[in-house]
Chains A and B, each alone.
Chain A
Amino acid sequence: MADESLPIAAEGLKRYFGSGDDIVKAVDGVDLRIQPGEIFGFLGPNGAGKSTTVRMLTTLLRPTGGHARVAGYDVVSEAADVRRNIGVALQDAAIDPLMTGRELLRLQAVLYGLPKAKHGERAAELLDRVGLTAAADRRVGTYSGGMRRRLDLALSLIHEPSVLFLDEPTTGLDPMSRIALWEEIKRLNHDGTTVLLTTQYLEEADQLAERIAIIDNGVIVRKGRPAELKAEVGSPTLFIGVEPDVADRASEILAEFGELRPTAEGTLGVGLPGGSAQISAVVRRLDEAGIGVRDLELHEPSLDDVFAEATGYRLEGAES
């Protein structure tokens, strides 16, 4: 059985959609043990199974198999208790556009059973906290994307939950809004909230998460502290740009120096056990073979490398 004392614990969690030949194994046996007070990053590309996992942990979706306990309660048989103890900000921050921010917070207070006398006070407090006091009585339809995200976060905090789920909280936000939201998440965590955060941004996971899990095709392929995972990849990666017609020949040469690593198109990558000291040797060897080097960069191991090593490809838009 999953551990009752952990804020989030899942064992063999599965979710299949469809049946027969068309079956889609969106989540196929996920194990998670998230410690109290930690920020846990759930990393993966679109469609990897992040949101499906979050929807199961937050009682929105019944698992096909496996078990999960959140805040000490079973997500299927004690769903109401789970809901009472978690806060959730879902992808896209879908909020009723016809209502004002304050009305939504008050409705949320009602739905979470806050004592009536506290509704106004709590709404005002949260509006202030996310910087929406001035816009509180405007309809949400007039809010910008960033404002909606902040309101969504405020809505998820109405009952001071001990466990917070944030599903891609910063997707589509401008850099300023993103950093502001990161600060808020850190502050919440500092006050003792356990956070499970899903993201497609490696930088976000690196910035916020104490531990991460990389999910791909419904399966967790790596799990651990970012620093440990990077160390596991070991050597730094040398990225080299060459003309396409000599790429195969260049790959052969690079393989003499270390293991080849997946890269974005148009570049080659090799892990250099000797680090920067080996660069000149690599360039000399290519030069001897008559291969011109267009550009060259040495990267210390990053989460991107961890991701690439684990899944065999790089996240779109990730810095290489």
Chain B
Amino acid sequence: MNVATTGVRAASVGLAKRSVVNITRLPSAFLPSIAMPVFQAVSFAGTFFAITRIPGFPTSRSINWFLPLAVMMGSGFAGIGIGFTTIRDLESGFYDRIRLSPAPRASLLAGPLLAALVRAVLMTTIVLIIGALFGARPTHGIGGVLLLYVAGLGVATLGTGWGLAIAYRFRDMRGAAVMQLTLFLVLFLSEAQTPLSIMDGWLEGVTRINPFNNIIRLGRLGFVDAPITWDNTWGGLVAVLVLGALTLLFAHRSLDRLADV
């Protein structure tokens, strides 16, 4: 048979479909990926309710403050979850079969990325609906909610890039621990729990240089009282674009380096 060049789009969609179908066949991985962000949003909002009473806190609803954080966390896990399944494929040897195909290398990244984005959108929507039942109220209408989706998709993108790169480098479950640990660190060494104006000491210093913090701010814009301005938006968008591009580039290089080991 005369085989034509495989298109990036067709191959990406094919691989994305596989990822999405597979995750639904592993309920032990799928259910927590939805339940954990919901739990995080609700429990943080309940247990740390009092912080919204600190003068100058950006919102009076604690669920408004913690829901975007939970979406960031869930999106990050949607991304590095791709890293977990890739480690499984590498360990079993199935990934050799994928690498053997003539599909463009970009589609080996774009396919799983697409699947992570689908998972992130699904998760965000569920968290938003349940969050609304617990009192979450967007402060800037649909536009603000969309910014949360943008931030979540951004985190899912760089989570996928990072997850794939680490999977390619480690090729075993040690990689999964590295992915989780780094996600926890970049996510929590930020305004995750309290705004800069309230935190103190070392955390403030780390938060100021943590680019991830801009993305969390972007996600929260539609849920805090301050107006949405270009000034408080562009930093998050730039962080999403730059970090997303860097991690995917790192993944691409690491994929190529699989041929060296």
A positions within 8 Å CB-CB of B: 58-62, 80-81, 83-86, 88, 90-92, 94-99, 103, 107-108, 110-114, 116, 139, 155, 159-160
Chain B residue at minimum C-beta to C-beta distance from A83: B102
Given A90-B93, A90-B96, A114–B3 Cβ distance below 8 Å? yes
- Please name the residue on chain A nearest to B3 by beta carbon: A159
Q: Is the pair B100, A88 in contact by a Cβ cutoff of 8 Å?
A: yes
Contact indicator A103/B21 (Cβ below 8 Å)? yes
B14 beta carbon closer than 8 Å to chain A: yes
Number of interface residues of B (CB under 8 A): 32
CB distance from A90 to the nearest CB of B (A): 6
Say yes or no: B5 contacts A113, CB within 8 Å.
Answer: yes
Say yes or no: B89 contacts A96, CB within 8 Å.
yes
**In the assembled complex, how far is the CB of residue A158 from the closest CB belonging to chain B, in whole angstroms?**
9
Chain A residues whose C-beta falls within 8 Å of the C-beta of B94 in the assembled complex: 94-96
> How far is the CB of B32 from the nearest CB of chain A, in Å?
17
- Report yes or no: A98 in contact with B25, Cβ–Cβ below 8 A: yes
Given A60-B96, A90-B96: A96 in contact with B14 (beta carbons within 8 A): no
Tell me how many residue pairs across A and B have CB atoms closer than 8 Å. Answer: 93
Whether the pair B18, A99 counts as a contact (CB closer than 8 A) is yes
Q: Which of A85, A91, A111 has the most CB of B within 10 A?
A: A111
**Between-chain CB contacts (< 8 Å), 20 pairs:** A59-B99, A59-B259, A60-B100, A61-B259, A62-B259, A84-B3, A85-B3, A90-B96, A92-B93, A94-B92, A96-B94, A97-B92, A99-B21, A108-B101, A110-B10, A110-B13, A112-B3, A112-B103, A159-B3, A160-B1
CB distance from B193 to the nearest CB of A (A): 37
Partner of B10, one of A61, A86, A92, A113: A113
Q: Is B22 on the interface with A (CB-CB < 8 A)?
A: yes
Asked if residues B101 and A83 are in contact (CB atoms below 8 Å), the reply is yes
A111-B98 contact in complex given A59-B259, A99-B22, C-beta closer than 8 Å: yes
Cβ B5 vs Cβ A90 within 8 A: no
Contact residues in A for B259 (Cβ distance below 8 Å): 59-62
B26 at the interface (CB under 8 A from A): yes
The reply to whether B14 and A159 contact each other, CB–CB distance below 8 Å, is: no
**B260 contacts the other chain (CB 8 A):** yes
Residues B121-174 near A (CB distance < 8 A)? none
The A-contacting residues of B in range 1-44, CB under 8 angstroms, are 1, 3-7, 10-11, 13-15, 17-18, 21-22, 25-26
Q: Across the interface, do A94 and B22 meet the contact criterion of CB distance under 8 Å? A: no
Select one of A59, A84, A90, A110 contacting B14, CB under 8 A.
Answer: A110
**B25 cross-chain contacts in A, Cβ below 8 A:** 98, 139
Tell me whether A111 and B3 are in contact (CB under 8 A).
no
| A93 smallest CB distance to B (angstroms) | 8
Q: In angstroms, how far is the closest chain B Cβ from the Cβ of A27?
A: 14
Q: Give A60 to B89 CA distance when docked, in angstroms.
A: 15
Q: How many angstroms between the C-alpha atoms of A88 and B93 in the bound complex? A: 13
Beta-carbon nearest neighbor of A91 in chain B:
B93
Report chain A residues within 8 Å CB of B96: 60, 90, 94
Contacts of A108 in B (CB 8 A): 101
With beta carbons under 8 angstroms apart, the residue of B4, B18, B98, B100 that contacts A113 is B4
Please, which residue of chain A has its CB at the minimum distance from the CB of B108? A111
Do B22 and A111 touch across chains, with their CB atoms under 8 A apart? no
Known: A90-B97, A139-B25. 13 other contacts (CB 8 A): A60-B96, A61-B259, A62-B259, A83-B102, A84-B5, A88-B97, A94-B94, A94-B96, A95-B94, A96-B94, A103-B18, A116-B10, A160-B1
User: Are the C-beta atoms of A83 and B100 separated by less than 8 Å?
Assistant: yes
Instruction: Tell me, in angstroms, the Cα distance from A58 to B5 when the chains sit together.
Output: 18
Chain A residues with Cβ under 8 A from B4's Cβ? 113
Known: A59-B259, A112-B102. A155 touches B11 (CB 8 A): no
